[in-house]
Structure 1
Amino acid sequence: MDEKSLLEAALFSAGGPVSEQQLKGLLSRSSTYINSLVEKLMEEYRQRGSPIEVVRLEGKYSMQLKPEYAERVMALSPGELKPPVLRTLSVIAYYQPIQQSDLVEVRGQAAYEHVALLLEKGLIQKKRAGRSYELTTTDKFCDYFGLSRGDVESIKAQIKNKAKLKKESLSRWLESKVPDMDAFDAVRKLMPVGKR
């Protein structure tokens, strides 16, 4: 069996980032060899002009749709999120880390269900913070929306840039063109008075 093809199959079937260690274990080869195979695979996808790309993220490798394709086909994804859930996600993404109690105050009691669904899909994570929980987005959120991973400020900056490039509000970008005139009201309510 061709080792490059096996590596490609591993990246495809993983459905997320795969560590160099995992690939070394799969092929019983050195880091240098693994890196050279991945580089060849990356170049093949680039030369094909494929909508799929192989990327290196924080020492891991991932096969993913290029962002410009991901945005267009998101509606066909079996994991499509409904507009109210996406609006809740937009508040979490923009204001992370955000207290769940603050989120509920802005989005209403339905936010509890939205948080449960977003946790189930792995798009957010929560940790105990006093009498509430602190909510943040995950690496899967970045993968889902075609963002490169990084610290919270980096993710927020990428979201703002994507929304500006598309001349849309953050929630309209997250909703992938789902029409909703006041989708961003929840975020505006959370903004400090001087920044409105």
Structure 2
Amino acid sequence: MDEKSLMEAALFSAGKPVSEQQLKSLLNRSSTYINSLAQKLMEEYRERNSPLEIVRLEGKYAMQLRPEYAERVVGFSPGELRAPALRTLSVIAYYQPIQQSDLVDIRGQAAYDHVAMLLEKDLIEKKRVGRSYELTTTEAFCDYFGLTKGDVESIKTQIMKKAKLKKESLTKWVDSKVPDVDAFDAVSKLMPKVK
């Protein structure tokens, strides 16, 4: 069996980032060899202009849709988040740590259902603070959206870069009825107006 094809199959079937260590165990090869093989796969996907790409994130490799395709096919995947939950997650990511009561003020009563679903998917965590809960994103959130883990400010900066700082106020975004198709688009609408 071809090792490169085996690595590709592992990345496809995992559905989440796979550590270099896992790939080393699978192929019984060195880190140098694994990284070289992964680079070849990355190049092949780029050269054939595939809708899929392989990316490296903190010592892990992931197979994912390129963003321009992900936006168009988000509704076809049962594991994907729908627009309302995505907006709620975007508010949490941008304003974290955020009190659940503040989130409900921004997003309405449906936020309780969104929080339950996001907790189930391990994209956020919540801890009791006073009479409310404090919500923050998790490492799984970073993996899911291809962000490098780090402190809250680092994650916010990455989100803003990926969102390309669209110039729309939070109020206008919350009041709009236009569904969002990806998380970075949703987050971009949280940004303050840039003059």
The 8 Å contact of residues 99 and 132 in structure 1, kept in 2 or not, is answered as yes
* 1:42 corresponding residue in structure 2: 42
CA contact (8 A) 1:90 1:174 kept: no
CA gap of 1:60–1:129, structure 2 versus 1, over 3 A, is: farther
**Alpha-carbon distance in structure 1 between the residues aligned to 2:50 and 2:99:** 41
Secondary structure of the structure 2 residue equivalent to 1:75: helix
Q: Cα 1:93–1:102, aligned 2, differ >3 Å: closer, same or farther? A: same
* Aligned residue number for residue 104 of structure 2: 104
SS of alignment partner, residue 50 of structure 2:
coil
SS at match of 1:155: helix
Deviation at 1:56, TM superposition (A): 0.7
- C-alpha displacement at 1:165, in angstroms? 5.8
Aligned residue identity for 2:155: I
Match status 1:28 vs 2:28:
yes
Cα RMSD for the two superposed structures: 3.0
Q: Normalized against structure 2, the TM-score is what?
A: 0.76
Residues matched between the structures, number = 180
Which blocks of at least 5 consecutive residues in structure 2 are unaligned? 183-188
- 1:174 and 1:34 map into 2 onto residues whose CA distance is 40
Query: SS at the partner of 1:64?
Result: strand
- After superposition, the Cα gap between the structure-2 partners of 1:174 and 1:160, relative to the gap in structure 1 and judged at 3 Å, is farther
- The residue type equivalent to 2:42 in the other structure is M
Q: Is the 8 A contact 1:51 1:66 kept in 2?
A: yes
The alpha-carbon deviation at position 3 of structure 1 amounts to 0.8
Could you tell me whether the CA contact under 8 Å between 1:7 and 1:23 is conserved in 2?
Answer: yes
Worse-superposed segment, 41-50 or 163-172: 163-172
What runs of 5+ residues in structure 1 fail to find an aligned partner? 178-183, 192-196
The match for 1:149 is: 148
8 Å contact from structure 1 (residues 55, 63) kept in 2:
yes
Q: Tell me the TM-score normalised to structure 1 length.
A: 0.76
Range moving further from structure 2, 79-88 or 114-123:
79-88
- In the alignment, which residue of structure 1 is the partner of 2:185? none
Distance, in Å, in 2 between the alignment partners of 1:174 and 1:19 is 34
Match of 1:8 in 2: 8
Give the share of equivalent positions with the same residue, in percent.
Answer: 74
Q: Within 1, Cα distance between the matches of 2:179 and 2:20?
A: 31
Counterpart check, 1:175 vs 2:180: yes
Change (3 A) 1:150 1:43: same
User: C-alpha distance in 1, partners of 2:144/2:33?
Assistant: 30
